[in-house]
Amino acid sequence: MVSQDFKKSKILIVDDNPNNLKVLSATLDHGDWDILVAVDGESAIEQAIYTKPDLIFLDVMMPVMDGFTACKILKGTPETREIPIIFMTSLSDTLDKVKGFELGAVDYITKPFDRDEVIARAKTHLHISHLTRQIQEKNIQLENFNQNLENRVQSRTVELSEALANLQKVQIKLLEREQRLAYDAFHDALTGLPNRTWLMQRLQHLLNNQHQLYAVLFTDLDRFKVINDSLGHLVGDELLKQATRRLKVALPARATISRFGGDEFVILFEDISNLIEAENLAGQIQREMALPFKLYNYELFISISIGLTLGTDEYQQSEDILRDADIAMYQAKQKGRGRYEVFNPLIRDQAIARLELENDLRRAIDREEFCMYYQPIFCLRSDRICGFESLIRWNHPSGHLISPAKFIPIAEEIGLINSLGWWILEESLTQIQIWHQQFDDRSLWMNVNISPLQLKQVNFAQDVKQILQNLELPSDCLKLEITESCLLESSKAEISALEQLKQQEIRLCIDDFGTGYSSLSRLHELPIHTLKIDRAFVKELATNAENSIISTIIKLAQGLNMDVVAEGIETVEQKEILRSLDCGYGQGYLLSIPLPVEAATDLLSKSMLN
Domains and CATH numbers, the chain: 4-185 (3.40.50.2300), 196-343 (3.30.70.270), 358-609 (3.20.20.450)
- The rounded distance, in Å, linking the Cα atoms of 319 and 342 is 17
Distances (CA, A) of 561 to 139, 248, 436, 503, 524: 109, 67, 26, 18, 10
Query: What pLDDT does residue 176 have?
Result: 83
What is the DSSP secondary-structure string of 470-507?
HTT--GGGEEEEEEHHHHHT--HHHHHHHHHHHHTT-E
Helix-helix angle 233-250:224-231, to 10 degrees: 140
pLDDT at 371 > cutoff 70: yes
Mean per-residue pLDDT, 515-526 = 60
Query: What pLDDT does residue 4 have?
Result: 45
- DSSP code at position 148: G
Query: What pLDDT does residue 569 have?
Result: 94
| Per-residue pLDDT band at 92 (split at 50, 70, 90) | low
Tally Cβ neighbours within 10 Å of residue 235. Answer: 18
Closest CA to 62 of 87, 44, 36, 41: 41
| Per-residue pLDDT band at 473 (split at 50, 70, 90) | very high
Classified as helix, coil or strand, 580 is helix
Q: What is the amino acid identity at position 269?
A: F
Mean per-residue pLDDT, 581-586 = 93
Query: What pLDDT does residue 170 have?
Result: 87
User: What share of the chain has pLDDT > 90, as a percent?
Assistant: 41
Helix-helix angle 94-103:150-185, to 10 degrees: 150
**Residue-wise pLDDT tens digits, 413-468:** 888 999 999 999 999 999 999 999 999 888 899 999 998 888 888 888 899 999 99
Query: What pLDDT does residue 544 have?
Result: 58
**Residue-wise pLDDT tens digits, 110-164:** 888 888 888 888 889 988 888 888 887 877 776 777 666 676 767 778 888 888 8
**Residue-wise pLDDT tens digits, 290-322:** 899 988 888 888 899 999 999 888 888 889 999
Query: What pLDDT does residue 1 have?
Result: 43
**Residue-wise pLDDT tens digits, 534-572:** 888 888 886 555 667 888 888 888 888 899 999 999 999
Dihedral over Cα of 238, 239, 242, 247: its sign: negative
- The answer to whether residues 285 and 266 touch, using CB atoms and an 8 Å cutoff, is no
Q: What is the amino acid identity at position 503?
A: Q
pLDDT at 6 > cutoff 90: no
pTM for the full model? Answer: 0.57
The region of weakest confidence among 73-82, 531-540, 546-555, 585-594 is: 546-555
pLDDT at 518 > cutoff 70: no
**Residue-wise pLDDT tens digits, 225-283:** 888 888 888 888 999 999 999 999 889 999 999 999 889 999 999 989 899 999 999 99
Q: What is the amino acid identity at position 211?
A: H
Higher pLDDT, 547 or 530: 530
63: preceding bond cis by omega (within 30 degrees):
no
| Per-residue pLDDT band at 356 (split at 50, 70, 90) | confident
Query: What pLDDT does residue 490 have?
Result: 61
Sheet containing strand 340-342, strands side by side: 255-261, 264-269, 215-221, 304-310, 340-342
Query: What pLDDT does residue 349 have?
Result: 79
Dihedral through CA 155, CA 156, CA 158, CA 159, nearest 10?
Answer: 130
Tally Cβ neighbours within 10 Å of residue 151. Answer: 8
**Residue-wise pLDDT tens digits, 319-339:** 999 999 999 999 899 888 889
Beta pairing class for 264-269 and 215-221: antiparallel
Distances (CA, A) of 504 to 458, 522, 530: 15, 18, 17
- The rounded distance, in Å, linking the Cα atoms of 93 and 184 is 10
Mean of per-residue pLDDT scores for the chain = 87
Query: What pLDDT does residue 542 have?
Result: 65
- The rounded distance, in Å, linking the Cα atoms of 495 and 410 is 24
pLDDT at 3 > cutoff 50: no
Q: Per DSSP, what are the bridge partners of residue 194? A: 187
Query: What pLDDT does residue 514 have?
Result: 64
Query: What pLDDT does residue 315 have?
Result: 87
Query: What pLDDT does residue 488 have?
Result: 59
Dihedral over Cα of 401, 405, 406, 412: its sign: positive
Q: Per DSSP, what are the bridge partners of residue 370? A: 394
